[in-house]
Structure 1
Amino acid sequence: MAGSRFASHVKWWFFLVPLLALFVMPALPDRSLFSVPPEEAESVQNVVGVERADDVVTLTNDRFRRWFVDTGIIRATLDASGSGEIGEAGVSEFAHGWVHNFWLEVYRVIYRASVMKLWIFGTLVFCAAAFVDGSVRRKIKASAAGFASPLSFHLAGHGILLVFGMTFAVLAAPFPVLAQYWIAVAAVLGALLWKAASSFQ
Structure 2
Amino acid sequence: MASRFGSHIKIWFLVVPVLAIAVMPAIPQRSLFELPEAESRSLVGSVGQERADNAVRQANAAFRRAFVDNGLLHRTLNASGNVGGLNDGGFSSFAHTWTENFWLLVYRMMFRAMVMKMWIVGTLLFALGMFVDGTARRKIKASAAGFVSPLSFHLAGHGLLIVTGTLFGVLVVPIPVLAGYWVAVAALLGALLWKAAESFQSFR
Bin of the TM-score, shorter chain as denominator length: over 0.9
Q: Report the equivalent of 1:60.
A: 59
**In structure 2, distance between residues paired with 1:39 and 1:105:** 17
Structure 1 residues 69, 11: CA separation in 2 closer, same or farther (over 3 Å shift)?
same
Instruction: Report Cα offsets for 1:81-129 as digits up to 9, x if no partner.
Output: 1079x98251011001000000000000000000000000000000000
Q: Report the TM-score when normalising by structure 1.
A: 0.96
Q: Report the equivalent of 1:74.
A: 73
The letter of the residue matching 1:24 is V
**In structure 2, distance between residues paired with 1:118 and 1:140:** 35
List structure 1 runs of 4+ shifted beyond 2 angstroms.
Answer: none
Q: Report the equivalent of 1:15.
A: 14
**In structure 2, distance between residues paired with 1:9 and 1:81:** 35
Q: Point out the structure with the larger helix share.
A: 1
**In structure 1, distance between residues paired with 2:158 and 2:91:** 42
Q: Report the equivalent of 1:47.
A: 46
Give 5+ residue unaligned stretches, structure 2. none
**In structure 2, distance between residues paired with 1:147 and 1:72:** 61
Give 5+ residue unaligned stretches, structure 1. none
Q: How many residues align?
A: 199
**In structure 2, distance between residues paired with 1:113 and 1:62:** 13
Q: CA RMSD in A?
A: 1.4
| Percent identity of equivalent pairs | 62
SS of 1:175's partner is: coil
Tell me if 1:164 matches 2:164. Answer: yes
Q: Report the equivalent of 1:5.
A: 4
**In structure 2, distance between residues paired with 1:178 and 1:140:** 39
Instruction: Report Cα offsets for 1:132-169 as digits up to 9, x if no partner.
Output: 00000000000001021000000000000000111110
The letter of the residue matching 2:200 is F
Q: Report the equivalent of 1:193.
A: 193
More off after superposition, 87-96 vs 23-32:
87-96
**In structure 2, distance between residues paired with 1:9 and 1:194:** 20
Q: Report the equivalent of 1:114.
A: 114
Q: Report the equivalent of 1:96.
A: 96
Q: Report the TM-score when normalising by structure 2.
A: 0.95
